[in-house]
Structure 1
């Protein structure tokens, strides 16, 4: 097993390291020297090896999603446990781990329910930017720095609650596996768990970003006979076809609403529709693209804080289903490590990573994301 050289040297000490701090919205991240406190009881300090740049991080920077500032963003992280606090039993120093923006306490009604995964201790809907005890472990320039959804992976070291971290297969490549903590789990879970796509079915996916691309891979693996992609950026179309898309539509070049074109292409509408953009209008279009009797629409895109989804309820009356989930409905600590093992043994997620950059070039990674030039950019924290 790969062991972190800092494991015995820094345990119990304050660590000084580099982190990308977001001081305010609509501004570049600033790579700063920060201090990271030791883990308290039931907490884990992790040396980050790799981290993906997700669209949610960009939404926060653009001011579309509520979170306290200044903050260390990033929620797609793979790393090695550096030290643990009192009472931690599920991981130990030296373990390879993933961190999750959605915890699993294994005690609340949602964690105990066989189909629920939205743990009561989540910090997503009303983000505090703090650990479960109400404090922060980060300091920069003498100021408290907030955490993002209990993770904060745009840093060389982070502290997470034990309920938001899990040991993974030791064979998992640490420069790639980080995307399973959000991109892959969200996209695959939307297909396998939330929608339960069937062989021979027709699907439409709104959005050609990271989550949408993972959805396409899962639809193809589920045996979908037709996968239609909808996006206004045609430079993404070749990548989409390589992943398994059969038809690509640019709504800006259509003479009719995209949902009408989808219905004409399929006869009665698709069996499964996925929205992976986060816009109200595309959510409604996805719902209207469904077969009215049995179609299933799954919303995975995150709309700006305070948005209101409005549509004629008659759309649901004939039998359409509107659904959603966080991290694909996977119970994070129980299920996602199994997904990692499946990746090691069975499937390839490399096509979902189009760019790799050293950590100091993080703002270039966000630029690639905003320009639509990448599916997922993964940052390497290694020197």
Structure 2
């Protein structure tokens, strides 16, 4: 949903599972990068070349420290934002204060999408009921299964 509602022209996506690329296309992803196809180049370098300097937003959803660094490195200098969604409780991320100060990039976390439950959940349910928000319920090829029993009673 977030990908398809952004006005950006290029929306690169890093994925190892090729079947997920079809799902990404439904949400507006334009370019798919398999790290195994990058050779000796870091993924961040491939993304920087592809986007002429880096992306405005990069979401790290796995929780590996190495991917947090790649996400941060993939961001455009001056205003790029790396958002960490995945977590590994035993690892630490360390970025030099010099790099933070001089790059103008932002590294931030996002717990549950930083939603405000009292106002955002009813709004998301409204979008779902209006068929604006898509939860993969109708798509049996999606890898994960989510139960939505009683969702209509939640929205009233």
Place the TM-score, normalised by the shorter chain, in its bin. Answer: 0.7 to 0.9
CA positional deviation for 1:335 = 2.2
The residue that corresponds to 2:32 in the other structure is: 248
CA positional deviation for 1:220 = 1.8
The residue that corresponds to 1:267 in the other structure is: 52
The residue that corresponds to 2:112 in the other structure is: 327
In 2, Cα distance between the equivalents of 1:350 and 1:235? 18
Higher helix share: 2
Does structure 1 residue 283 correspond to structure 2 residue 64? no
Structure 1 segment 169-208 matched on structure 2, within 5 A: none
In 2, Cα distance between the equivalents of 1:328 and 1:252? 29
CA positional deviation for 1:323 = 1.1
Instruction: Determine if contact 1:237/1:248 at 8 Å carries over to the other structure.
Output: yes
In 2, Cα distance between the equivalents of 1:315 and 1:346? 43
TM-score by length of 2: 0.82
CA positional deviation for 1:312 = 3.4
In 2, Cα distance between the equivalents of 1:286 and 1:319? 14
SS in 1 for 2:129: helix
The residue that corresponds to 1:222 in the other structure is: 6
Instruction: Determine if contact 2:85/2:110 at 8 Å carries over to the other structure.
Output: yes
CA positional deviation for 1:222 = 2.4
In 2, Cα distance between the equivalents of 1:292 and 1:341? 37
In 2, Cα distance between the equivalents of 1:312 and 1:354? 44
Higher strand share: 1
Instruction: Determine if contact 2:127/2:133 at 8 Å carries over to the other structure.
Output: no
Gapped regions of structure 1 (runs ≥ 5): 1-216, 356-372
Cα–Cα, structure 1 residues 313 and 380, in superposed 2: closer, same or farther, change >3 Å?
same
CA positional deviation for 1:351 = 3.3
Instruction: Determine if contact 2:10/2:51 at 8 Å carries over to the other structure.
Output: no
Higher RCO, 1 or 2 (CA under 8 Å, sep at least 6)? Answer: 1
Structure 1 segment 224-373 matched on structure 2, within 5 A: 224-255=8-39, 256-303=41-88, 305-317=89-101, 318-345=103-130, 347-351=132-136, 354-355=139-140
Q: Cα RMSD (Å) of the superposition? A: 2.3
CA positional deviation for 1:279 = 1.0
Cα–Cα, structure 1 residues 341 and 381, in superposed 2: closer, same or farther, change >3 Å?
closer
Does structure 1 residue 376 correspond to structure 2 residue 144? yes
In 2, Cα distance between the equivalents of 1:301 and 1:329? 13
Aligned pairs, number: 148
